[in-house]
């Protein structure tokens, strides 16, 4: 099965399958026309997407590796949430350092 890539907001998705097709973009967002919730109410269902099951298609975050500033590939929602958690930890440490430094100066 052929794969292709797609870039959105500077993030590259590298493992997109060529099917199901047709794929199209609307307002810069890529989607498969087979994911159509237009008639969900008529069918008696709620449109839903389970975030745990999202395949992030090898999204490459250019500066996502917090250890060395290189790229980080995201394949699962767990990968993404782990990265967000690590970033939040870094923000907390930096914020505490700024508060400590400002207390010394002031």
- The per-residue pLDDT for range 64-80, each reduced to its tens digit, is 999 999 999 999 888 99
pLDDT at 59: 94
3-state secondary structure at position 15: strand
Dist. CA 40–CA 45, nearest whole Å: 5
Q: How many residues does the chain have?
A: 106
At 95 the pLDDT is 96
**pLDDT confidence of residue 37:** 66
What residues in the chain have per-residue pLDDT under 50? none
Per-residue model confidence (pLDDT) at position 14: 80
Backbone angles phi, psi at 57, to 5 degrees: 55, 40
pLDDT at 8: 74
pTM exceeds 0.75, yes or no: no
- Sign of the alpha-carbon torsion through 26, 29, 31, 37: negative
């Amino acid at each position: 099965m052929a794969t292709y890539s797609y870039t959105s907001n500077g993030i590259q998705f590298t493992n997109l399958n060529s099917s199901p097709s047709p794929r199209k973009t609307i307002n810069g967002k890529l989607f498969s026309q087979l994911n159509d919730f237009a008639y969900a109410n008529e069918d008696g269902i709620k449109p839903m997407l389970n975030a745990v099951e999202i395949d992030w298609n090898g999204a490459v975050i250019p500066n996502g590796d917090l250890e060395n500033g290189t790229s980080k590939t995201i394949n699962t929602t767990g990968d993404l949430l782990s990265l967000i958690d690590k970033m939040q930890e870094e923000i907390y440490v930096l914020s505490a350092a700024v508060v400590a430094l400002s207390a010394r100066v002031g």
